[in-house]
Amino acid sequence: MQHILSGARIFDGAEFIDDHVLVIEDGFISAILPRGQAGEPTHSCDGIIAPAFLDLQVNGGGGKMVDCSTDLAALRHICETHRNLGCAGILPTLITDTADATAKVIEAGIAAAESGVPGFLGLHLEGPHLDPRRKGAHDPALVRPMEEADLARLCDAARTLPILMVTLAPEAVTPQQIATLSGAGAIISLGHSDCDYDAACAAFDAGASCATHLFNAMSQMGHRSPGLTGAVLSRTEPNAGLIADGIHVHPAAMKAALAARTDGIFLVTDCMAFAGTTLSEMTLNGRPVRREKGRLTLADGTLAGADLRMDRAIATLVGDVGIAPERALAMATVEPARAIGLDHRFGRLAPKRSADLVLLDDSFTLRGIWADGEWQRPLD
């Protein structure tokens, strides 16, 4: 069946295309044509049509966390929740936990991949091989160096899962372990680290290709000691996630980072089980997390993930940071797709691409998701 979407500006992943219509046939984009060259529109809408988002750091959603209880049904539920929040795909993320919990989540991830769970791209394991000095909300009792059994488990998972991202600190691993894990197909992201600039560069040279939530839980950039932050911003090859809620990173710091790096920085929500719900409290490794005034905190005030939707992150970049809408939208679409090697499938609107779309209003608030031949309403 053919659908012709008209009336909205079209963001194709790189630029806005005005006065055009989007033609969809059998779930795929067949053409982007000047208005009037494709017959009568079947759907008229205002605002912005853009590629659906990708989120590479999703700790939970719909009331469920990725944790020791996670199974196939839980991953399906979390992916569905985030599809309703505008994400074509996510990396469900396990925060530092036990070896048994890690093994169980990997097992569930493999089952999700084999079952073709919509929106499931793979897994992100954030820890436990971190630096306790930069633990953030991670349980320090569970943070530990990587051992050979850990490396073998992760290499097996990287070879089996469609995508495996692993956040680790250079202090907790060796360069050879990074090289081995990267060679097995894992995407290595540096984070929760107090390493110096040279150690960060050595880890990138060994095979790390990304950094987790830039600025947060990492050594900062000083004029004599650039740290991990400086390594990310001064090099051209690492990608980096950014939590753009205006709480985790000051708008001025985001502006400076995006001036230093013209590409390679992508948005993440770092959201918890609260996403898509009205919950006010949950637990993380047995510790209560409170949701209040846009913040998620442990009892001591430590930030514990973010109360953030991807559309609100885009709005923050445009409204508070002053980033061009094209770049802000790219940071939620094509930039994360590139970071995980899926820009051939996601992040752009073009003929023969799957019609994974979102509809945003002029304030970048999510108003619809294209599914089943119709614009579907997002969750409240």
* CA-wise closest residue to 289 among 98, 213, 277: 277
Q: At what angle do helices 99-115 and 148-160 cross, to 10 degrees?
A: 10
The answer to whether 270 is a known catalytic residue is: yes
CA distance 85 to 366: 8
Tokens of 281: 């409290």
What does the alpha-carbon distance between residue 344 and residue 22 come to, in Å, rounded to a whole number?
19
Residue 73: which H helix or E strand, with range? helix 72-83
User: What is the C-alpha R_g of the chain?
Assistant: 20
Which among 270, 307, 311, 356 is annotated as catalytic? Answer: 270
Tell me the one-letter amino acid at 42. Answer: T
Reference 204, options 216, 221, 187, 217; nearest CA is 187
The 3-state DSSP class for residue 40 equals coil
User: How many Å apart are CA 300 and CA 119, to the nearest integer?
Assistant: 35
Q: Which residues pair with 265 in a beta bridge?
A: 240
- Residues recognised as catalytic: 270
